[in-house]
Amino acid sequence: MTIKLYCFGESGNAYKAALTLELSGLKWEPVYVDFFAGETRSPEFREINPMGEVPVMVDGDITLSQSGVIQDYVSSKSGKLGGRSAAERREILRWQFWDNHKMSSQAGLTRFLMNFLPEDKRPAEVIAFQQGRLKAAYHVLEAELTNRDWLVGDMLTIADISCCGYLFYPEPFGFERADWPHIDAWLTRIEDTPDWKHPYDLMPGSPADRA
Protein backbone atom coordinates (compact mmCIF):
# COMPACT_ATOMS: atom_id res chain seq x y z
CA MET A 1 0.00 0.00 0.00
CA THR A 2 1.28 3.45 -0.93
CA ILE A 3 1.54 5.99 1.88
CA LYS A 4 0.03 9.37 1.05
CA LEU A 5 1.51 12.60 2.34
CA TYR A 6 -0.60 15.75 2.13
CA CYS A 7 1.93 18.50 1.59
CA PHE A 8 3.14 21.41 -0.50
CA GLY A 9 6.63 22.34 -1.56
CA GLU A 10 6.97 25.59 0.37
CA SER A 11 6.36 23.92 3.74
CA GLY A 12 9.51 23.13 5.70
CA ASN A 13 7.55 20.97 8.12
CA ALA A 14 6.10 18.97 5.24
CA TYR A 15 9.64 18.61 3.89
CA LYS A 16 10.74 16.92 7.11
CA ALA A 17 8.08 14.26 6.65
CA ALA A 18 8.58 13.95 2.88
CA LEU A 19 12.37 13.58 3.13
CA THR A 20 12.00 10.99 5.89
CA LEU A 21 9.65 9.00 3.67
CA GLU A 22 11.97 9.33 0.67
CA LEU A 23 15.04 8.15 2.57
CA SER A 24 13.17 5.38 4.39
CA GLY A 25 12.59 3.38 1.21
CA LEU A 26 8.85 3.08 1.90
CA LYS A 27 6.48 3.54 -1.02
CA TRP A 28 4.80 6.93 -0.83
CA GLU A 29 3.28 9.68 -2.92
CA PRO A 30 2.67 13.40 -2.31
CA VAL A 31 -0.84 14.84 -2.38
CA TYR A 32 -0.71 18.54 -3.18
CA VAL A 33 -2.45 20.89 -0.75
CA ASP A 34 -3.06 24.40 -2.09
CA PHE A 35 -2.20 26.24 1.11
CA PHE A 36 -2.10 29.69 -0.46
CA ALA A 37 -5.64 29.26 -1.80
CA GLY A 38 -6.85 28.40 1.69
CA GLU A 39 -7.28 24.64 1.25
CA THR A 40 -6.12 23.82 4.79
CA ARG A 41 -9.03 25.91 6.11
CA SER A 42 -11.63 24.10 4.02
CA PRO A 43 -14.18 21.74 5.65
CA GLU A 44 -12.93 18.92 3.43
CA PHE A 45 -9.35 19.26 4.63
CA ARG A 46 -10.44 19.68 8.26
CA GLU A 47 -11.96 16.22 8.02
CA ILE A 48 -8.49 14.88 7.28
CA ASN A 49 -6.78 17.05 9.90
CA PRO A 50 -8.94 19.09 12.31
CA MET A 51 -5.81 21.13 13.15
CA GLY A 52 -5.86 22.53 9.61
CA GLU A 53 -2.16 21.96 8.96
CA VAL A 54 0.20 20.05 6.73
CA PRO A 55 1.80 17.61 6.68
CA VAL A 56 -0.74 14.82 7.08
CA MET A 57 0.20 11.20 6.43
CA VAL A 58 -2.33 8.53 5.54
CA ASP A 59 -1.20 4.91 5.61
CA GLY A 60 -4.27 2.70 5.24
CA ASP A 61 -6.34 3.17 8.38
CA ILE A 62 -3.66 5.29 10.07
CA THR A 63 -3.80 9.07 9.74
CA LEU A 64 -1.14 11.16 11.45
CA SER A 65 -0.35 14.86 11.56
CA GLN A 66 2.64 16.81 12.92
CA SER A 67 5.97 16.22 11.21
CA GLY A 68 7.74 14.75 14.25
CA VAL A 69 5.03 12.15 14.79
CA ILE A 70 5.11 11.21 11.09
CA GLN A 71 8.90 10.92 11.21
CA ASP A 72 8.70 8.64 14.24
CA TYR A 73 6.10 6.43 12.54
CA VAL A 74 8.09 6.19 9.31
CA SER A 75 11.37 5.41 11.06
CA SER A 76 9.67 2.76 13.20
CA LYS A 77 7.92 1.14 10.23
CA SER A 78 11.00 1.16 7.99
CA GLY A 79 13.59 0.42 10.66
CA LYS A 80 15.67 3.31 9.35
CA LEU A 81 16.73 6.78 10.52
CA GLY A 82 15.70 6.14 14.11
CA GLY A 83 19.01 5.54 15.90
CA ARG A 84 20.56 2.37 17.23
CA SER A 85 19.36 2.33 20.86
CA ALA A 86 16.79 3.67 23.30
CA ALA A 87 19.32 6.26 24.44
CA GLU A 88 19.79 7.49 20.88
CA ARG A 89 16.02 7.55 20.38
CA ARG A 90 15.67 9.85 23.40
CA GLU A 91 18.42 12.07 22.01
CA ILE A 92 16.61 12.21 18.67
CA LEU A 93 13.45 13.34 20.48
CA ARG A 94 15.44 15.99 22.33
CA TRP A 95 16.63 17.48 19.05
CA GLN A 96 13.19 17.26 17.44
CA PHE A 97 11.61 19.11 20.35
CA TRP A 98 14.39 21.69 20.33
CA ASP A 99 14.01 22.24 16.60
CA ASN A 100 10.25 22.63 16.76
CA HIS A 101 10.50 25.17 19.58
CA LYS A 102 13.73 27.03 18.86
CA MET A 103 14.40 26.85 15.14
CA SER A 104 11.71 25.63 12.74
CA SER A 105 8.94 27.67 14.32
CA GLN A 106 11.08 30.80 14.06
CA ALA A 107 12.36 30.01 10.56
CA GLY A 108 8.92 29.23 9.19
CA LEU A 109 7.38 32.43 10.47
CA THR A 110 10.34 34.61 9.45
CA ARG A 111 10.47 33.14 5.96
CA PHE A 112 6.72 33.64 5.55
CA LEU A 113 6.86 37.26 6.70
CA MET A 114 9.82 38.07 4.45
CA ASN A 115 8.71 36.30 1.29
CA PHE A 116 5.02 35.47 1.20
CA LEU A 117 3.47 38.71 2.47
CA PRO A 118 3.16 41.83 0.30
CA GLU A 119 6.25 43.97 0.83
CA ASP A 120 4.30 46.82 2.44
CA LYS A 121 2.88 44.45 5.07
CA ARG A 122 6.15 42.96 6.26
CA PRO A 123 6.70 43.90 9.94
CA ALA A 124 10.35 44.95 10.14
CA GLU A 125 10.59 44.88 13.94
CA VAL A 126 9.04 41.43 14.19
CA ILE A 127 11.36 40.11 11.48
CA ALA A 128 14.41 41.54 13.25
CA PHE A 129 13.32 39.98 16.54
CA GLN A 130 12.75 36.61 14.89
CA GLN A 131 16.11 36.72 13.16
CA GLY A 132 17.77 37.33 16.51
CA ARG A 133 16.14 34.21 17.91
CA LEU A 134 17.18 32.27 14.84
CA LYS A 135 20.80 33.40 15.18
CA ALA A 136 20.85 32.02 18.72
CA ALA A 137 19.56 28.69 17.40
CA TYR A 138 22.18 28.59 14.66
CA HIS A 139 24.89 29.10 17.30
CA VAL A 140 23.60 26.05 19.21
CA LEU A 141 23.53 23.92 16.06
CA GLU A 142 26.93 25.13 14.86
CA ALA A 143 28.52 24.30 18.21
CA GLU A 144 26.99 20.83 18.27
CA LEU A 145 28.31 20.03 14.80
CA THR A 146 31.84 21.26 15.49
CA ASN A 147 33.17 17.82 16.36
CA ARG A 148 30.58 15.46 14.94
CA ASP A 149 29.08 14.58 11.57
CA TRP A 150 25.51 13.92 12.74
CA LEU A 151 23.38 15.16 15.61
CA VAL A 152 22.82 11.70 17.09
CA GLY A 153 25.14 8.74 16.85
CA ASP A 154 27.22 8.01 13.78
CA MET A 155 24.59 8.21 11.04
CA LEU A 156 21.83 10.35 9.59
CA THR A 157 18.66 10.19 11.69
CA ILE A 158 15.35 11.99 11.83
CA ALA A 159 17.00 14.43 14.24
CA ASP A 160 19.09 15.72 11.34
CA ILE A 161 16.11 15.70 8.97
CA SER A 162 14.05 17.67 11.46
CA CYS A 163 16.70 20.30 12.09
CA CYS A 164 17.56 20.79 8.42
CA GLY A 165 13.92 21.18 7.38
CA TYR A 166 14.04 24.89 6.57
CA LEU A 167 17.73 25.31 5.84
CA PHE A 168 17.65 24.14 2.22
CA TYR A 169 15.11 26.74 1.10
CA PRO A 170 16.44 29.48 -1.19
CA GLU A 171 14.18 32.31 0.03
CA PRO A 172 15.92 34.72 2.43
CA PHE A 173 15.04 34.54 6.11
CA GLY A 174 18.33 35.27 7.84
CA PHE A 175 20.36 32.14 7.17
CA GLU A 176 23.46 32.06 4.98
CA ARG A 177 25.31 28.76 4.83
CA ALA A 178 28.66 30.47 4.37
CA ASP A 179 28.30 32.10 7.81
CA TRP A 180 28.08 28.74 9.57
CA PRO A 181 30.82 26.40 8.28
CA HIS A 182 29.94 23.36 10.41
CA ILE A 183 26.24 23.63 9.55
CA ASP A 184 27.23 24.06 5.91
CA ALA A 185 29.34 20.88 5.98
CA TRP A 186 26.50 18.99 7.69
CA LEU A 187 24.01 20.15 5.06
CA THR A 188 26.43 18.98 2.38
CA ARG A 189 26.57 15.54 4.00
CA ILE A 190 22.78 15.43 3.96
CA GLU A 191 22.71 16.50 0.30
CA ASP A 192 25.20 13.74 -0.51
CA THR A 193 22.94 11.08 1.04
CA PRO A 194 21.60 8.73 -1.67
CA ASP A 195 18.01 9.67 -2.68
CA TRP A 196 18.19 13.12 -1.06
CA LYS A 197 16.04 15.69 -2.88
CA HIS A 198 15.53 19.43 -2.56
CA PRO A 199 12.08 20.34 -1.21
CA TYR A 200 10.92 21.80 -4.52
CA ASP A 201 11.96 18.60 -6.28
CA LEU A 202 10.40 16.32 -3.69
CA MET A 203 6.97 17.93 -3.26
CA PRO A 204 4.59 19.72 -5.61
CA GLY A 205 4.27 23.49 -5.25
CA SER A 206 6.83 26.28 -5.29
CA PRO A 207 6.86 30.09 -5.48
CA ALA A 208 7.57 29.77 -9.20
CA ASP A 209 4.15 28.17 -9.67
CA ARG A 210 2.49 31.27 -8.23
CA ALA A 211 4.70 33.86 -9.96
**Residues paired with 64 in a beta bridge:** 57
pLDDT in tens, 127-180: 999 999 999 999 999 999 999 999 999 999 999 999 999 999 999 999 999 999
Q: Does the pTM of the predicted model rise above 0.85? A: yes
In the chain, where are the structural domains located?
A: 3-81+197-210, 86-191
- Cβ atoms 174, 109 nearer than 8 A: no
What is the CATH T-level fold of the domain 86-191, as seen in this structure? Glutathione S-transferase Yfyf (Class Pi); Chain A, domain 2 (1.20.1050)
What digits encode the pLDDT tens for the residues 12-49? 999 999 999 999 999 999 999 999 999 999 999 999 99
**Cβ contact 182:120 at 8 Å:** no
β-partners of residue 65 are 56
b/e for 64-93, b at 16 or more Cβ within 10 A? bbbbbebbbbbbeeeebbbbeeeebbebbb
Confidence band for 11, pLDDT divided at 50, 70 and 90: very high
Phi-psi region of 152 (alpha: psi -120 to 50; beta: other; left: phi over 0): beta
The domain defined by 3-81+197-210 folds into Glutaredoxin (3.40.30)
Sheet holding 56-59, edge to edge: 28-32, 3-7, 56-59, 62-65
73-128 per-position pLDDT tens digit: 999 999 999 999 999 999 999 999 999 999 999 999 999 999 999 999 999 999 99
Confidence at residue 1, expressed as pLDDT on a 0 to 100 scale: 86
